Amino acid sequence: LALVLYDFTAEPGNNELSVRAGDTKCVICVCSVSERVDLVDGDKLLFKLQTHFFSSSPLLVFQIGNAGGGGGGDSWSGGGAYVSNTEGWDSRGHQHNQQATPPGEDNDGEWDDDWDDQSLGGYYGNEQAEGEGGVSGRSAHGPSTGEVGPVWLYPTSPLDCVIADPKKESKLYGLKSFIEYQVTPSTTNRPVNHRYKHFDWLYERLLEKFGSLLPIPSLPDKQVTGRFEEDFIRMRMERLQAWMTRMCRHPVVSQSDVFQLFLTYKDEKEWKSGKRKTEKDETVGPMMFSLVEPEAAELDAAQVEQRCEQYSRFTKSMDDGVRELLNVGHTHWKRCTGPLPKEYERIGRAFRNLSTVFSSSKYPGEETLTDALTAAGKTYEEIALIVAQQPQKDLYFLLETNSEYKGLLGCFPEIIAVHKAAVEKVKEADRLVSAGKISSSDKRSMNQRSSCMSYSLQAEMNHFHSNRIYDYNRVMQLYLEQQVTFYQQIADKLRGALSQFTTL
């Protein structure tokens, strides 16, 4: 079920930030998608971010340099090779602050052209053809007039995976039992098996590595009792699916070595050695920022601070909003599955009882009434069932999506705090230079680092916003569709019951 919620195939994506025309499968639908990772000096992997303007502004690219081990350079150019290459990404060389574009390897021009022609061009054309309002329609939207700012570089072939087929397995001759899920990535279409504790291991690694940079939401809760009950297994699988789908949608996470290892390991040996390697990775946490290196100009400090404040306020308000929706949703769930259907059942039973009593009157010719009354009673008993089952069909997704967002939003305060600390440090830099405690070059370096973090935060906020728009559009439609069906179904049933009564 959770699959449906996140199945983006063949749909044009939400909003005006659309995928490149012609893409039929897209996990991230919000940015003009381009794929390009460069190997620099043979061991440095670049992530590109681009600043997207609705007006025809020049592309702004900045990069996360990764002191990576030897990924196959050839596999990084074009097509679906992007994903298969990520094993090179997360390896453990520690070369920080290197130039993104190495001498003699100027792919950026070509890449920019590609992007401009195929993505931005396609997007605008597509957008306007579909009459979605286009650029001009947005111009009234505040002073920034459609400016999005830095965005992550999204792969053209988005990654997705399907979790299915949970099986109870055991080891130590049956002494230990566990559930193993089959995880099939869209890239290889080859299933791998994982237990919950493997997901948990993946979560810990992602949190450690990216937690200061990106929101890594918690896994579905651990649970000790009832682990092998069917409903629990199904529910956990759906939540793992939602979690994995969200991770797959993130261009930085999805292309990381650890994530790729999890999805594409070939055998037990590769999994074990990959695990060991990953656990020794030292490029984690705030260290990640040392890998980010913008080609773009340093950002205006005041503007950055203002934006950060805005993000902070936004995530806080959305967190409040999401929590309120979750609260009322849970209350409503309880009512819809508890007292409300019980009441409909009682109403139905009361009608049927009355029908039985009426039948016992021996008064001739009231079969039409008693039959109709019985039918009405049965209808309300059916409605009771429909009511009780409804939350599973609509409220469920609304709550699951909002729970996910609660999880994501809970990660932002730290991310914003890390960034804020860096900005504060930069503010201090002037004083420190005057006091002769750091050099001007140190200060420049600090500025640069802080600027990278700002770019990164903005790209992440843009990622968050675009996903949020897609997700809420989708989940609200699903919710309302199901609600319409629900009320329509009841209206139709009651119309049927009504028709059984004699017209007076």
Nearer to a copy of itself, 170 or 353 (CB): 353
Question: Which one among 162, 325, 433, 438 touches a copy of itself, defined by CB under 8 A?
Answer: 325
- Read off the DSSP letter of residue 142: T
β 149-152/161-171 pair status: unpaired
Nearer to a copy of itself, 132 or 282 (CB): 132
Nearer to a copy of itself, 271 or 472 (CB): 472
141 part of the interface to a copy of itself, by CB under 8 A: yes
Q: How does 2-13 read in b/e, with b if 16+ C-beta sit within 10 Å?
A: beebbebeeebb
Contact, 292 vs 456, CB < 8 A? yes
Give, as ranges, the residues between 171 and 210 that touch a copy of itself (CB under 8 A).
Answer: none
Tokens of 463: 């990622």
* CA neighbor of 53 nearest in space, from 491, 493, 462: 462
Give, as ranges, the residues between 305 and 324 that touch a copy of itself (CB under 8 A).
Answer: 310, 313-314, 317-318, 320-322, 324
Nearer to a copy of itself, 261 or 475 (CB): 475
Nearer to a copy of itself, 113 or 320 (CB): 320
504 part of the interface to a copy of itself, by CB under 8 A: yes
138 part of the interface to a copy of itself, by CB under 8 A: yes
Give, as ranges, the residues between 223 and 262 that touch a copy of itself (CB under 8 A).
Answer: none
C-beta of 314: minimal distance to a copy of itself in Å?
5
- Residue 298 CA to residue 404 CA, distance in Å, equals 34
- Phi and psi of 33, rounded to 5°? -95, 135
Contact, 218 vs 238, CB < 8 A? no
- Residue 50 CA to residue 108 CA, distance in Å, equals 12
Distances (CA, A) of 296 to 92, 281, 300, 418, 431: 26, 29, 12, 21, 26
C-beta of 356: minimal distance to a copy of itself in Å?
8
**Angle, CA 63 vertex, CA 61 and CA 66 arms, to 5°:** 165
C-beta of 370: minimal distance to a copy of itself in Å?
9
**x/- letters, 94..133, toward a copy of itself (CB under 8 A):** --------------------------------------xx
Question: Which one among 144, 177, 273, 439 touches a copy of itself, defined by CB under 8 A?
Answer: 144
C-beta of 85: minimal distance to a copy of itself in Å?
31
136 part of the interface to a copy of itself, by CB under 8 A: no
The continuous run of DSSP H or E covering 163 comes out as strand 161-171
Nearer to a copy of itself, 97 or 310 (CB): 310
For tokens 């209808």, the residue is: 379
Contact, 66 vs 43, CB < 8 A? no
Contact, 133 vs 11, CB < 8 A? no
Map residue 365 onto helix, strand or coil: coil
Nearer to a copy of itself, 190 or 346 (CB): 346
Give, as ranges, the residues between 17 and 46 that touch a copy of itself (CB under 8 A).
Answer: 17
Give, as ranges, the residues between 49 and 68 that touch a copy of itself (CB under 8 A).
Answer: 54
- Read off the DSSP letter of residue 388: H
* CA neighbor of 82 nearest in space, from 34, 119, 123: 34
C-beta of 430: minimal distance to a copy of itself in Å?
29
Nearer to a copy of itself, 11 or 428 (CB): 11
Type of residue numbered 108: D
Distances (CA, A) of 48 to 150, 291, 372: 10, 12, 69
Q: How many residues bind a copy of itself (CB under 8 A)?
A: 87
Nearer to a copy of itself, 161 or 475 (CB): 475
480 part of the interface to a copy of itself, by CB under 8 A: yes
376 part of the interface to a copy of itself, by CB under 8 A: yes
Q: Give the binding range for a copy of itself (CB under 8 A) out of 15-23, 75-83, 87-95, 200-208.
A: 15-23
**Distance spanning both ends of the chain, measured CA to CA:** 47
Give, as ranges, the residues between 333 and 372 that touch a copy of itself (CB under 8 A).
Answer: 335, 339-340, 343, 346-347, 349-351, 353-354, 357-358, 360-369, 372
Nearer to a copy of itself, 183 or 398 (CB): 398
Which residues on neighbouring strands pair with residue 49, listed in sequence order? 62, 152
C-beta of 111: minimal distance to a copy of itself in Å?
24
Give, as ranges, the residues between 452 and 471 that touch a copy of itself (CB under 8 A).
Answer: 462, 465-466, 468-470
Map residue 193 onto helix, strand or coil: strand
Nearer to a copy of itself, 52 or 205 (CB): 52
Tokens of 192: 């791998």
